[in-house]
Amino acid sequence: MSSNPFFEPWTTPFGMTPFDRIRPEHCPEALERGMAEHLAEIDAIAADPSAPTFANTIEALERSGRLLQRVSNVFGNLVASLGTPELEAIDLDFAPKLAQHGMRVALNPGLFARVDALFGKRAALGLAPDALRLLERRHLGFVRNGARLGEADKARMSAMSERLATLHTQFGQNVVHDEKEWHLALAEADLAGLPEFVREGARQAAAERGIEGYAITLGRSSIEPFLTFSTRRDLRRSAYLAWIARGEHPGPHDNRVLIPEILALRLERARLLGYPTYVEFRMADTMAASRENVARLTDEVWAAAKHRAAAERDRLLEVAREDGINDAIEPWDWRHYAERVRQAEFAIDEAELKPYFVLENIQQAAFDTAARLFGLRFLARPDIPGYHPDMRAWEVQDEQGHVGVFLADNYARSGKRSGAWMSSYRDQEAMDEAVSPIIVNNNNFSRGTPTLLSFDDAETLFHEFGHALHGLLSRVRYPSQSGTSVRRDFVEFPSQIYEHWLAVPDTLRRYARHHETGEALPEPLLQRLLSARNFNQGFATVEYTASAVLDMALHAHPDPAGLDVAAFEREVLAGIGMPPEIGARHRPTHFQHLFAGAGYAAGYYSYLWAEVLDADGFGCFEAAGDPFDPAAAARLRRILEAGDTRDPMELYVEFRGEQPRTEALLRHRGLLAMAEG
């Protein structure tokens, strides 16, 4: 009998993944068997001699592929969280195989014939609303994968899917490679301006790399504080140029070679399905609905942000002149002088503020906020084995008992994917029996003793925990509708609205406590922090919006196969008047949202779209005069519970009472006066 744990029942607490038993070598065998079992199940559904019914077709589809889903969830999460050479090799090998498998399911003619027949008579089936939506969304998925194409075009769709899977995997691995390979070694003489928390993080980074002294890495939690505090302009320049050059080095890890092919394949796919560009293909299944609607949003925000950023630049120049810098502010200067201006205008010093934001306290703040809003409890479970010593586990309960399991993996380390994200090891469902979710949050905070967060880091933790709540509070029948399985430009709403509770004064008073004394954040400092929240928003909005505009331009290109990526980037940014002293938040060669997968391709605007929703939506609580208003919290919980069982705008209007307004975003970012001006 095989000793592969994927083939055995998991008797661990809550059916948790037995991380202590799973090895990389178990994954290929399990993936192969999972695909084989799934195809056999699909063939059986397609060949069923009975007339198609919702039960024998759609529900049978929902039950199919259980082993493959289990293995894929575990494997995909371990690749992102651990990134070992063994896992990366398996990932590169299986990415096209899994893509081919997916297309074999999506393009099975017998299966689609049954789904199409049900779709054609859906109004007469008497289905419950969630089942009707599942049928409609399943049918749409088949069509968007090419189920109505001729045989030759189907074959081409399948081949493109395989190739894209390989390219996406290579792109992501190339970025991770560059982040692992580069560091800036620092001696004592190079630490000018760096507060103790930055030095501590640099000491930890050097120790992890086996070198003496200090090291700055390309992780955002390492390099951004360095760019903020270092008074060594030469070192800031070196670090910044390395940061923006990820994926852009000649040789086997050059993403400039991959991007044109990815874009060309996406365009070909869109045209096979009847769309002029990939942008139109993506927009057809979003809340935004059209490229024009997205452009209206980005144009309005861009104009206000540029106006604000110009004023910010002029103020930064005044301070830079004091340092003898008589030329222009450069991108590696902005964060440094912005911090200097913030200190001068708001009497806020990040080095003074950060000792009050201890990782464990902010994690507890996120938990206790969920307790006050939704009645959740988080019980530490150190007995649950992890995939890495950094991982921690909690059982989540509410008044009715067990809800799910929450995992947190908060530290940056070599090989781990950069950024921050939420994912799942198991999704909630209740089709045949109640299945509780297992949700994970990954962050990349610089380790310290203790680990201290910036306010932005703390917001990131709250953001990802908002995603986690979307998965944990899901109350759906069918697994395909669970948790975050919603339209891309709606999925960021639960995460972004949750960020608001970090800035609630009561949250800061309770949980922002000094790591040595335990004293609360002094009230004057708290008020200055809140007053400064819109400081530098011109910069922040410009760097984000530029990336969103660049994303849409890349995916609207009519002939990207021979694209000079760097030249096109310069052309697009020049066309919108990108301020030269600000860099786009993501350059194409390390823009993993777009090219390490298709999730946010022609969809990076989603964060901005969702901010309209979250800024407007938090108005429910503001209007009630209580950030924990029970009635508003209950309505918000219904959105989190609903998953993809209902139209997202319908859910939002039920929550808010009306459709969202862009003015809420501009007001939240302090840009409304700029837009009106």
List, by residue number, the catalytic residues.
464
**Cα–Cα distance between 189 and 523 in angstroms, integer?**
36
**Cα–Cα distance between 590 and 36 in angstroms, integer?**
35
**Cα–Cα distance between 188 and 213 in angstroms, integer?**
8
> Residue 119's closest CA among 106, 105, 132, 104?
132
Residue 441 bridge partners (DSSP): 408, 422
Largest pairwise CA distance in the chain: 82
Contact residues for 108 (Cβ-Cβ < 8 A; gap 6+)? 42, 43, 46
Q: Are 431 and 62 in contact (CB under 8 A)?
A: yes
**Cα–Cα distance between 577 and 675 in angstroms, integer?**
17
Hey, CA dihedral for 175, 256, 242, 536, is it positive or negative? negative
**Cα–Cα distance between 342 and 315 in angstroms, integer?**
11
Residue 551 bridge partners (DSSP): none
DSSP code for 519? P
Please give the structure tokens belonging to residue 360.
């464990």
Helices (H), 347-435: 350-353, 359-374
Three-state SS string over 33-65 comes to HHHHHHHHHHHHHHCCCCCCCHHHHHHHHHHCC
Per DSSP bridges, beta strands 392-398 and 438-445 are unpaired
Per DSSP bridges, beta strands 214-216 and 184-186 are antiparallel
Using DSSP's 3-state secondary structure scheme, residue 28 falls into: helix
Please give the structure tokens belonging to residue 347.
């009497």
Contact residues for 366 (Cβ-Cβ < 8 A; gap 6+)? 461, 462, 465, 498
Radius of gyration of the CA atoms of the chain, in A: 25
Q: How far is CA 33 from the centre of its chain?
A: 30
Q: In b/e form, how buried is each residue of 377-403, taking b as 16+ CB within 10 angstroms?
A: ebeebeebbbbeebbbbbbbebeeeeb
Please give the structure tokens belonging to residue 209.
């790399």
Other Cβ atoms within 10 Å of 627 Cβ, number: 20
What is the signed CA dihedral for 74, 77, 82, 87, rounded to 10 degrees?
Answer: 60
**Cα–Cα distance between 605 and 628 in angstroms, integer?**
29
Report the half-sphere exposure of 604 (CA within 13 A, side-chain side): 25
Q: How far is CA 154 from the centre of its chain?
A: 31
Please state whether 423 falls in left (phi above 0), alpha (psi between -120 and 50) or beta: beta
